[in-house]
Structure 1
């Protein structure tokens, strides 16, 4: 065997530098890549309860204890014992947690705003479903709220209205911000309540048509960097398992409802195809499709190996379970902070993104 130390000592310094550069290129474009971090000045988020940081609490029904007990030590507007994925995104990018656009008390939007609302869908739902857990703040409404926010921000800056402008982004930062999305699960959930599984599957193209229109409108408003989560394994939510009509063969090896997960996977397949189409239509956009489904399903499949208990058990009812960090599900529908952190740790490096890109480098078109 040759002496590796002698080999490197004998190698000219120029060749060592070239070799090192090649290793960086070959070993990925994520955290250890050669491109600099994007340094987003702000985040604008759109979604449902998976990323709502206070909108539903400010609008309709206040989120009560034990929500928030693990991290905030009080209700924080989040349907969780602590932080959500969007909170971990903010931490990763060294930005403050996002305030809900609908929360007018003591809020600052200097480095972004959150338009997500619990119960939101991509397609507007009929009013009879509003009181069944679904929100009137569908994606088209969230988009209108963003447009109002952007217009008013520009007006404040043009009018020089100090000190108000200190609570809002500089107008030029809208095009440099990160636009995040976690929405679509409730469209499937609403469908499962009122339609057959096949009918829900048939509704997917129209749902994604409306999602695509929102992306295009944001692009025309100057948005360029999009971080888009696909939908999770809805059939693995304890709520789904409890209330889905049981039939032989409907559950998979992890106890999840197979038909619902199959519809979710079809939704994700078509969403990924739409992202490919949108990249051609929006040439200056960096559109990152993030496979959250695979991450969540892996966590559920490996629950005990990863330090959690039975993934179909949940922590919160009328009172907390005592140690939420042992649970994947917080309340039967939403994930616990511990699960959200585990998921965040597995999606931020870009290994489950298309195209492969870490969240800190998603702005670089050269990587796509």
Structure 2
């Protein structure tokens, strides 16, 4: 079967969907994150409202010995242990369009400084090699159920909050991408969905990050990251040439060059408004300043020390298919039926 998980687009920066935990089912608001593997769900202990209340579920199972874990993020820390319960993906009112997993193992968060009030769970969608010992990531559990038509999940991230985003579990939606332009890339590291990166260009000129002697660049789509990221060393070099804040008018903003990723010989173009922010002048809305919004992120895992991240800013442009059966990632130009809405920029006194 295929299950369509609809996602709410929050200002083109975050995409969230509902997941149903326990018996009777409790709806939680989840960020499905291809850049992590563990599932984390807030408990009532961590937050009184908009959280999972395990005391009201007849199928919740507390382990006899709790496996406590603390995770540190850039935004804070969470602590919890692993428990199990029934989870439902899809429409709880229509069993033909829903998939249920009994006794699913997940992290129950008891202390939290990471989650804000807009979401209740982070559901990791990376490979099991990236998960805590003894934990089966969500998609691995779906694969093991034998219920999916294909062992893949596919992503359409809209450019307009009025256009519904989606994940297709078990297949893809051909109405959402140009199938004739779909290109597959083999996964080279199974912690992330990392593929080989040949080069990064700006205005047709190589940055040299991946072409220099000894370079081992990889790149991974990451639905849990809003923007694009470079390793810190590469970003420092990039910002020396492209990181300055410059005066720019409304028309000049769209005339900046594309950022081009070359992945196994295929060029993927990211237009300027997906890697540059424009701050509007209060005095004159047609004027302002522009600056790169590419962020830094380093990984310490062997083989992917030079890994770049393709966040939502890229996945909005390219329909992204994660094929676990064949260990490959597919990219194709997404088909959008709504006009792109640019995010609202902060104003500055100028």
In the superposition, the TM-score normalised over structure 1's length comes to 0.27
Structure of higher CA gyration radius: 1
User: Of Structure 1 and Structure 2, which has the larger fraction of its residues in helix?
Assistant: 1
User: Of Structure 1 and Structure 2, which has the larger fraction of its residues in strand?
Assistant: 2
In the superposition, the TM-score normalised over structure 2's length comes to 0.28
